[in-house]
Amino acid sequence: GQQLNQSPQSMFIQEGEDVSMNCTSSSIFNTWLWYKQDPGEGPVLLIALYKAGELTSNGRLTAQFGITRKDSFLNISASIPSDVGIYFCAGQLGGSARQLTFGSGTQLTVLP
């Protein structure tokens, strides 16, 4: 099956700093999704990317769908304490959410 490598596994940053995390795959995907999971909650969708090369922003978050369709990155600018959580990338090949592959997550800690 498809495998996603998500890095880094964890990050400790100072409030106000920018953050970057990425996912790479050995296979191509048609859709890339980025989710955030707060402690004790389920993952919540942050950004969905549907086209190779697509760059999409959602507030302080920016994500890109790699041109090779095998990678994606997520940037968070000017981090704040509520950015703490686990960020998951997910790649989808077909037209069904059943064909979703999740990365292992990036645990983000923002220090005041």
Partner 1 sequence: DAGVIQSPRHEVTEMGQEVTLRCKPISGHNSLFWYRQTMMRGLELLIYFNNNVPIDDSGMPEDRFSAKMPNASFSTLKIQPSEPRDSAVYFCASSLTGRFSGANVLTFGAGSRLTVL
Residues that bind partner 1 (CB under 8 A): 31, 33, 35, 40-45, 48, 50, 88, 92, 95-98, 100, 102-105
How many C-beta atoms lie closer than 10 Å to residue 77's C-beta? Answer: 14
- Residue 6 or 79: the one with the smaller Cβ distance to partner 1 is 6
- Rounded Cα distance between 93 and 95, Å, is 7
CA 62 – CA 46 distance, rounded (Å):
10
Least distance in Å: CB of 18 to partner 1? Answer: 26
Distance in angstroms (rounded) separating the CA atoms of residues 40 and 64? 28
Least distance to partner 1, CB of residue 66, Å = 19
Name the residue nearer to partner 1 (CB basis): 64 or 106: 106
Closest CB 112 distance from partner 1, rounded Å: 26
| Residue 74 vs 79, nearer CB to partner 1 | 74
Name which of 3 and 20 has its Cβ closer to partner 1: 3
CA–CA distance, 39 with 85 (Å, rounded to integer): 7
DSSP state letter for 83: G
Least gap, CB of 88 to partner 1 (angstroms)? 7
Length reported for the chain: 112
